[in-house]
Amino acid sequence: MGALLTQFFNLQIMSEAAPLIVRGLGMTLLVCLAVVPLGLAGGLAVALVGRSRAAWVRWGAAALIDILRAMPPLVLLIFVHAGLPFAGLRLSPFASVCVAFFLNTSAYYGEIYRAGFESVGYGQWEAARSTGLTGWQAMTSVVIPQAVRNVLPDLVSNTIEVVKLTSLASAVALPEMLYAADMARSLTYNPSPIVLAGAIYLILLWPVVRLVSRLEHRLGG
């Protein structure tokens, strides 16, 4: 028991590593602030493009989404960070993370929005248009509010995934929270700093996970 505590919950080491980790937390939050809005916007754009009347546009969008969903985010990140320089495009770790995660999350948010649109019956659109509302007005006042409401648990759930995704940025040496914690681990040969980082993730995300569960149960599976 004692061994477990000194290995995983070594308070001494945790307190020494804390300042470093908190600085990493700042970077984690910064990445979230950049990627989540980008992904939400990108996803909406993808979903709207997917409703285009031109079949080839729809197919192109669907193919792009499937490719992005088939690619592990870490692979995409490494590709952007280590592969693009060969083509002459060298991005900073932060920029690489933003680009790779923007692509990945746009695909997932796009799928969620698509399900949302499909959940709003076509009759709603027709009713709105039949009173003379333009296509744009019908979308913004009638269809999109209902679509978002219907897929809210999935949107929140995916946002949780994005926050967790930021931990991958440690692989390209972006000094976010896990990178800082791992650095502390390698200096102390003790994983407690990573446990501390985990605890911080829990504090951030556990309440949101509970919230999503409750939303999901209320909508009845």
List contacts with other proteins (CB under 8 A).
Answer: 3-4, 7-8, 66-67, 69-75, 78-79, 82-83, 86-87, 121, 123-124, 126-134, 137, 141-142, 145-146, 149, 160-161, 164-168, 170-171, 178, 181-182, 185, 189-191, 194-195, 197-198, 201-202, 204-206, 208-210, 213, 216-217, 220-221
End-to-end Cα, the chain, rounded Å? 41
Q: CA nearest 97: which of 154, 162, 182, 15? A: 162
Q: How far is the CB of 33 from other proteins (least distance, A)?
A: 17
d(CA 95, CA 84): 12
Confirm if 153 and 60 have CB atoms less than 8 A apart: no
Nearest-approach distance from CB 66 to other proteins, in angstroms: 5
Q: Which of 40/192 has CB closer to other proteins?
A: 192
> Of 23 and 182, which has the nearer Cβ to other proteins?
182
As measured in angstroms, the least distance from the Cβ of 152 to other proteins is 12
CB of 76 to other proteins, least distance (A): 8
Q: What is the H or E stretch that residue 214 is in?
A: helix 192-218
**Which residue type does 43 have?**
G
121 Cα distance to chain centroid: 28
